[in-house]
Amino acid sequence: MKLVRYGEPGLEKPGLIDGDGALRDLSAHVNDITGAALSDAELDRLRALDTATLPLVTGSPRMGACVAGIGKFMCIGLNYSDHAAETGSPIPEHPILFMKATSAVVGPDDTVLIPRNSTAVDYEVELGVVIGTPAKYVTEAEALTHVAGYCIVNDVSERDFQNKLTGQWTKGKSCDTFGPIGPWLVTRDEVENPQELSMALDVNGERRQTGNTSTMIFTVAQIISHLSQLFTLHPGDVIATGTPPGVGLGIKPQPVFLNAGDRMELTIEGLGRQTQILEQDA
């Protein structure tokens, strides 16, 4: 299934994309696409519905983030060897974890705001993993059974805030609108292998990032297993699993960052497309 949330910010309704690509309303069957709706049993219940009987949503409504009520928004840094190389960083021995504030979450096509005093806004196309059942002390072999589905995440970053303000990377990762998620949450039964997905990001029509999840240093299963040894992963938690090379920070001989009016377009195989325009925050 391709689960979505559509409507104005704060008023989103649950829906799904049917086999013909049409948007269908799920409001009569689930309150929202939250962690409570992402267990295997709940997903099986929704999967059993006759989609042809669900109300058809006409027009082109705004898409919200494809999961609501996110408890933890976790990100894995430097998880592609060629991206680590372009930033001059060593290959990590263990997954590098930082957190992104849930207040950064927006819809896949919402405007991204450039914060005040910002000069180094950057982009990162990433495979997002949404947890469906609690995961604590799980093995790599069983890790993927705890996944509800997958989505696109743009880990928008302010590099000066991230690297030059004393403290954690979180400072440069959590600005308002820096967490577009969606458009769809594609349930795990429709993603045969999360380690074989092509991905790309364009800025103003120019290809900046091209990659494949096969080149991750730590696989999705390894990441889930590792994190679950440290704390419980709860339904609705989101993990952004790292980005391939081509970020603005890594452009030689001089980094190239984003400006107001720039357009980002992100794709991951089977997971849809995001498009965001940047604006200067007031």
pLDDT at 90: 86
34 located within any domain: no
CATH number of the structural domain spanning residue 272: 3.90.850.10
173 located within any domain: yes
Contact 264, 202 (CB under 8 A): yes
Calculate the CA 218 to chain-centre distance: 17
Query: Residues 79-112: pLDDT tens digits?
Result: 998 777 777 788 899 999 999 999 999 999 999 9
Nearest to 182 by CA among 281, 93, 85, 64: 64
pLDDT at 168: 84
21 located within any domain: no
> What is the pTM for the complete model shown?
0.96
135 located within any domain: yes
Count of CA atoms in the C-beta half-sphere (13 A) of 231: 7
pLDDT at 89: 81
Domain limits at 260? Answer: 69-280
For the chain, which residues score pLDDT lower than 50?
none
Number of domains in the chain: 1
Contact 252, 179 (CB under 8 A): no
205 located within any domain: yes
Pairing status of strand 73-77 against strand 238-240 = parallel
Q: Is 108 exposed, middle or buried (0-12, 13-18, 19+ CB in 10 A)?
A: buried
Count of CA atoms in the C-beta half-sphere (13 A) of 224: 29
pLDDT at 84: 78
41 located within any domain: no
